[in-house]
């Protein structure tokens, strides 16, 4: 069974602070995705990283895929209240590209 | 309508009721999924349909019965549920090219199910 561990599970910070959340596994994935889910909504795909060591930027969000393709991090610069939500990482593997989700990091950005 | 739409958004049912959840995708995708989201647990994959054929069934109890009449519609029929089945049920779709699924999922807003 492939498991994805996310840390921290809960994070409450002030607007303007920086933060990093982590997604770790003992398994190798062909790609890794990050989703954000707001209360009462379904998850929305933010990014897919494919190559070991890859770094992708989405405005104030920076995503990195580990060299061994087993882990990933999400760094948010100058967090804003609109960043509040549940951040889910998901590893893709297998011939059918099976997607395995982590439990998520619940982020609250206080104005 | 765009994206993936789910109905109803909220459902309360007794353990002896029969109800159905509906999902429709307007993205032209050829794979559809049912996921269960419970508190303090990762999203659990329940069923996968590719080109209207069920390709994965993750040991889901028979009280959950999926139906995929075409590539745009997916149903989850519910019968004799238990209180522990209360959760957010999410439908998703994706596109597979030549049998390889990109894994990028587009989710609906979910159906919040409460079983009394």
User: Over 80: is that where the pLDDT of B116 sits?
Assistant: yes
Structure tokens at A108: 């609250």
Q: In three state form, how does the secondary structure of A30-64 look?
A: CEEEEEEECCCCCCEEEEEECCCCCEEEECCEEEE
Name the closest residue on chain B to residue A38, using Cα atoms: B109
Interface test with A, best of B6, B43, B55 (most A CBs within 10 A): B43
Query: Could you tell me which residues are beta bridge partners of residue B92?
Result: B33, B107
Choice between B50 and B107, residue whose per-residue pLDDT is larger: B107
Interface residue A100 vs chain B (CB under 8 A)? yes
| Closest CA of chain A from B16, distance in Å | 27
Quick one: which of A31, A63, A30 has its CA closest to A46?
A63
Contacts of A33 in chain B (CB under 8 A): 103-105
Q: What is the mean pLDDT of residues B21-27?
A: 97
Q: CA-CA distance, A73 to A66, in Å (whole number)?
A: 8
If DSSP codes are grouped into helix, strand and coil, which group holds residue A83? helix
Residue B47's H or E segment, with its range, is: strand B44-50
What is the pLDDT of chain B when averaged over all its residues? 89
Q: CA-CA distance, B42 to B110, in Å (whole number)?
A: 15
Q: What is the mean pLDDT of residues B85-99?
A: 86
Name the closest residue on chain B to residue A36, using Cα atoms: B107
């Amino acid at each position: 069974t492939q498991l994805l561990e996310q840390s921290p599970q809960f994070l409450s910070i002030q607007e303007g602070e920086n933060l990093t959340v982590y997604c770790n596994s003992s398994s190798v994935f062909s790609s890794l995705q990050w989703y954000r889910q707001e209360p009462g909504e379904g998850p929305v795909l933010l990014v897919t990283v494919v190559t070991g060591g890859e770094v992708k930027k989405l405005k104030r969000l920076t995503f990195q895929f580990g060299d061994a393709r087993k882990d990933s991090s999400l760094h948010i610069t100058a967090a804003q209240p609109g960043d509040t939500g549940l951040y889910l990482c998901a590893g893709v593997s297998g011939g059918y590209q099976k997607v395995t989700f982590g439990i998520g990091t619940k982020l609250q950005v206080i104005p | 309508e765009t994206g993936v739409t789910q109905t109803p958004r909220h459902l309360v049912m007794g353990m002896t009721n029969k109800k159905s959840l509906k999902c429709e995708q307007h993205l032209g995708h050829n794979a559809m999924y049912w996921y269960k989201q419970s508190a303090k647990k990762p999203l659990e994959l329940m069923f996968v349909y590719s080109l209207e054929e069920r390709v994965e069934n993750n040991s889901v109890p028979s009280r959950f019965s999926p139906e995929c009449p075409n590539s745009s519609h997916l149903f989850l029929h519910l019968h004799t549920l238990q209180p522990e089945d209360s959760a957010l049920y999410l439908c998703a779709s994706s596109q597979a090219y030549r049998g390889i699924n990109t894994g990028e999922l587009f989710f609906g807003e979910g159906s919040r199910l409460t079983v009394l």
